[in-house]
Amino acid sequence: MREVIFDTETTGLDPQGGDRLVEIGCIEMVNRVETGRTFHCYFNPERAMAAAAEAIHGLGDAFLADKPLFASRASELLEFLGDSPLVAHNAGFDFGFLNMELGKCGLEPLGRDRMIDTVALARVRHPGAKNSLDALCTRYGIDRSHRTKHGALLDAELLCQVYVELTGGRQIGLELAAESVDVTAGSVTSVVVTRTYREPRPHAADKAELAAHEEFLETISAPLWRSKA
């Protein structure tokens, strides 16, 4: 199964309030294995970068000034995404910005039924725990020492590893895996524990075993169970 794991960086938090997409990083996975195919692009947002946003991802006005507009790369991005399920961390945020940009280009929005949100997956698997990307990397022992600031492609690479762990680890699909997550595009249905049924083993001692046990007990001198209270 082909899936695309992606992340975005933006000028702020509100696509309806004028914030824009400035970076997207996408990674192709087939059967939860990275194929090496990626799509990565920076965009000129045609507006000033908020200081709070720049502090997070480090993308300033000077760097973005000569980057292409989203519209000039939209068709290439859509070709890479294809009709595959789209995996993101807090996916509603990323879908909101992507669909806003597509709308500005007169293009159809991405269907929310294609959305797989790893935050929702993490809440099922680790209820009550911190489920930020950093927290999940720490929980699963994923090295993020090179992540000094947020970056769309870098975060997508980390999310690929997190997603594999959230959906059963590298044993996914094997009978050795004790637990796996049932993922349907756009929702998390449940955590499914699969076990192979085994017939109960006989557990009652036979006559020979009982006799051997009695014989062994006779070899014990002054056993406590024969002492008088």
Range 167-202 burial, b when 16+ CB lie within 10 A, else e = bbeeeeeeeeeeebbebeebebeeeeeeeeeeeeee
One of 89, 126, 150, 203 is an active-site residue; which one?
A: 150
Hey, where are the domains in the chain?
Answer: 2-193
Residue 149's pLDDT is what?
78
Dig out the tokens for 30 from the structure.
Answer: 């087939």
Question: Is the pLDDT at 99 greater than 70, yes or no?
Answer: yes
Q: What is the pLDDT of residues 67-88, one digit of tens each?
A: 999 999 999 999 999 999 999 9
Residue 173's pLDDT is what?
47
Task: Answer yes or no: 150 catalytic.
Answer: yes
CATH number (3.20.20.10, 3.30.420.10, 3.90.1150.10, 3.50.50.60) of 2-193 reads 3.30.420.10
Closest CA to 112 of 131, 99, 125: 99
E strand residue ranges, 115-176: 115-117
